[in-house]
A and B are shown apart, each in its own frame.
Chain A
Amino acid sequence: MNPTLTIARRELKGYFASPVAFVFIVIFLLLAAFFTFMLGGLFERGEANLLPFFTWHPWLYLFLVPAVGMRMWSEERRLGTIELLLTMPVTPWQAIVGKFLASWVVVGIALALTFPVVMTVNYLGSPDNGVIFAGYLGSLLMAGAYLAVSAMTSAMTRNQVVSFIVAVVICFFLILVGYPPVTSLLTGWAPTWAVEGIAAFSVMTHFESIQKGVLDSRDVLYFLSVIAFSLFTTSVIIRAHRAG
């Protein structure tokens, strides 16, 4: 069996053996429902789409996703099992990807469990399910980006709390640079090209266009690059840690 899958399976079991996965899923579902129906007013708007559902995801993930990812490598360092894992016939890259995939699956399961919302809007009206699908894809990609950032921060320290906080700060930054109130503030004194350039680094900019149903390859590419870059940095950090 492929070592990446072996590691991913073990991690996944670990998520469900500890309450992390359950707590995450339950809180995610509760908060998603709260934001969608109370703050977003899904019913009152009388539109058959899931905009009020997806709009809140960047913020919802901001705290929940780093909580899933924070143990990825810091726990490994704390327990000393990293020494065991990396002296197995496994490349660091296989271990990094395996762990990342497992955490992504946890978030994916939580996201999949929101299917009643889709059924509801389909029951109440006739939404464009293509747009909904794009929204889910964007949301999953964004969660992946946050997770990869959390993987990176968890490799830096054996302390999960530190890993969590640093991940939240980085993800917050990734949101802010493209958040309309912030960008409009910037346009006051910076040239437009600069503001747009900075906003191009934001998850917000890319998530927004995907969630509108515009599945642009550049947006997908953006999220995949954030994931690839963060995981690559993770491998660099782990190598540096081993070298002492």
Chain B
Amino acid sequence: MIQVQNLRKEFGPKVAVNGISFTVEKGEVLGFLGPNGAGKSTSMRMITGFIPPTEGSVKVGEFDMLENPIPAKRLIGYLPENAPSYADMSVRGFLAFTAELRGLSGDAGKKAVNRVLEMCFLENVQHQSVETLSKGYRHRTCFAQSIIHDPEVLILDEPTDGLDPNQKHEVRTLIKKMGETKAIIFSTHILEEVEAVCSRAIIIDRGTIVANGTPRDLKMRSDQAGAITVKLVDGNGEAIKAKLSHLNGVDRVTILSERPLTLRVWPRKGSGSDDVSRGIADMAFQERWSLQGLQVEEGRLDEVFRSITLPDTKSTKEETK
């Protein structure tokens, strides 16, 4: 549905986006991650046809954004960064205007406006002027605008920015649900969001894609992925560490904290975490340790994010010491 090929954008001498390529199909929700200034918004602006790329192409549906912008734009719903809207209009007036630009006038327009007012919980403020709304409501108004024509493609630049926890949850649920039938790209700085709604995530750093995969795949890249955390009520940390180190398939063991006693066991490459954790359980039984918890770590997205986008920092290694 969306095909981005070798997209590049230069602002004077500055390269904001440096040759990114990917595709998004219907039924996919693609998360766009990356540090501030990585080029997420710039990429989205090129995909939606707001700014022309220096190089590369964008295809939406069967339409090329550069050669055939109008039909391509018809397929897209777009929530720009900072959710702009006309301050002097009422919420309903603003939505009716965008509906009309999308070709929905008269009854169809009214229906569309009512539908999104309900979906985005804006019915109570529909007659209020946009400039008197709180930030979260303004954000929701602009979000409502992006889905007013029930588009096949949705591009959302930080859709949950400025929303309260309940609304964040609602919007996530909505995105996930719409993602079943639409092609969605959304950017965020909230990593739990990615795990909650994305079927795939791309991490952009300094204009290039540095990771592309399902949230699960990405988490597997984490150092912690596959490590086993062992919690005990009490015991001698050093002695237990020594015992665990000799277990079959264990690479190394670290003590995370003494009280409560928590250790992390790193399986050797090639040996499964499940086998090792079974071994630990058996050992705890034989040695009569008061085992409290045993957990295979899934890996954490924020750790992966940091290790990928800050290659020089040792921050992710501190635990392995």
Q: Which residues of A contact B (CB under 8 A)?
A: 1, 3, 6-7, 10, 13-14, 17-18, 79-81, 83-84, 86-91, 242-244
Contacts and interface: CB of A to CB of B under 8 A. Distances in A.
A15 B268 CA distance: 71
Given A81-B86, A244-B51, 20 more contacts: A3-B101, A6-B101, A10-B86, A10-B97, A80-B82, A80-B84, A83-B50, A83-B84, A84-B80, A84-B85, A87-B48, A87-B76, A87-B80, A88-B98, A89-B70, A89-B102, A90-B70, A90-B73, A90-B101, A242-B51
Contact of B85 (A13, A81, A244): A81
A91 B103 CA distance: 14
B87 interface: yes
B264 interface: no
Interface residues of B, number: 34
A89 B52 CA distance: 16
A242 B50 contact: yes
A89 B50 CA distance: 11
B74 interface: yes
A81 B50 CA distance: 11
Contacts of B82: 80
10 contacts: A7-B101, A10-B97, A13-B93, A17-B89, A80-B84, A84-B78, A84-B80, A84-B85, A89-B70, A243-B52
Contacts of A81: 84-86
Nearest to A5: B100
Interface in B48-86: 48-52, 69-71, 73-74, 76, 78, 80, 82, 84-86
A20 B48 CA distance: 33
A86 B84 CA distance: 13
A242 B52 contact: yes
